[in-house]
Amino acid sequence: MMSVFQIFKIILGIIISFFILFIVLTFAGSYSEIGESSRQVSIMVNFKKSIDDVYTTGIPTDFEMKDSEILAYTPPYIRTEVSNVDMDPIPLLLVPGEKFSVYRNEYDLGWLKFYFIEVLPETNILFVPLGDDERVWSILGNITKFLPSTENTETKVKFYVGCNKTDSEWLYPLGERNKFLDYWLPQFVFYDVEMGPCDINEEDYEIITISEDETVDADFLVKPIDGEIGYVYIKDGEDHEEHVYKNGLDVVALFLGGERYYDYMNEKFLKELEVAINVKTRESDLLMGDTNMWNRCGTEFLDFKQTLTSIKEDVIPEMDSMDEDDAVEFNYQIKESFRKYKELDSLGCG
């Protein structure tokens, strides 16, 4: 028969065993959490490195996550369970997913190339061009060139043209961006293809409707004023948010992430534009000093510099609250700067 002391030792041993087991399990859980956090940090470090490499080289790539590690993207921060990842200074348009195409795109002004990164999962983009006005097809092309080309990646962004609600008979699969822009789009413009309403499973496509009539019922509606500028209407319940766009990049930013992406990309672009203007103005002053101001090169440098100064002092300050007139003036001045820069280049003045 066991003594009271032996029973006490058994009970004490059981208590100590449970205490040790609790400590072991607690530490095991902590180590497991640390290991999971380390794994997530490693994924985001590699993801950021992949974006940095593509931004530097221009060579597109794929990136895959086993689980969706990205909770949200609020430019310039990628939010994860572990921490926020700051993507500055790289301008980034990101749609969260698990397998991405990472692509560097550009807005080419001739004297400035504004580079930005697009990170998209597999996506089917359906354009719905209503009416046969050339402005509809022009802005459709301008939007497309600011979306990624995935010919050299496994994760595809494919383009379609069809009705607002259409069956397969009225849906044109046009492949990836380059084939769409170089071959299919000219065909549609040449043959004056006109779309109308029909039926489709809208869950399979991200739809961009383009129409001169802003009353068209669409979740994302582009109303062109000309081939460059116009309005975007984004459905918000029974109402529509209205935004002025000055180029296809504005439309793409709104399409991929709404007003937050639109404001972010506009801010990044205008800052880089102002820096580039300062650099080109100083460069023009130096080159003008090496020329006779009354010869052709001197005159062209002066004209180019004056246009840049006008953009910096008169146009950029108006872009925070841009209206249609501001967008028109912006595009006019940008085209003038492009034309004058090309004239300098053609004269061999650089």
The per-residue pLDDT for range 42-70, each reduced to its tens digit, is 888 899 999 999 999 999 999 998 777 88
Question: Does residue 27 carry a pLDDT above 90?
Answer: no
Burial class from Cβ neighbours inside 10 Å (0-12, 13-18, 19+) for residue 311 reads buried
Alpha-carbon span 201 to 219, nearest angstrom: 14
Comparison of pLDDT for 250 and 26, the residue scoring more: 250
Q: Residue 172's pLDDT band (boundaries 50, 70, 90)?
A: confident
100: β partners? 63
Comparing CA positions, the residue from 263, 249, 256 lying closest to residue 146 is: 249
CATH of domain 122-245: 3.40.50
pLDDT attached to residue 21: 43
**Whole-number pLDDT of residue 272:** 96
Which pLDDT value is given to residue 167?
53
Closest CA to 186 of 229, 245, 144, 228: 144
Entry pTM: 0.85
Q: Per-residue pLDDT for 296 more than 70?
A: yes
Cα separation, 107 vs 304, in Å, equals: 19
Q: pLDDT at position 184, please?
A: 83
For tokens 């590690």, name the residue.
Answer: 69
Residue 115 pLDDT > 90, yes or no? yes
73-to-142, 174, 271 alpha-carbon distances in Å:
25, 30, 21
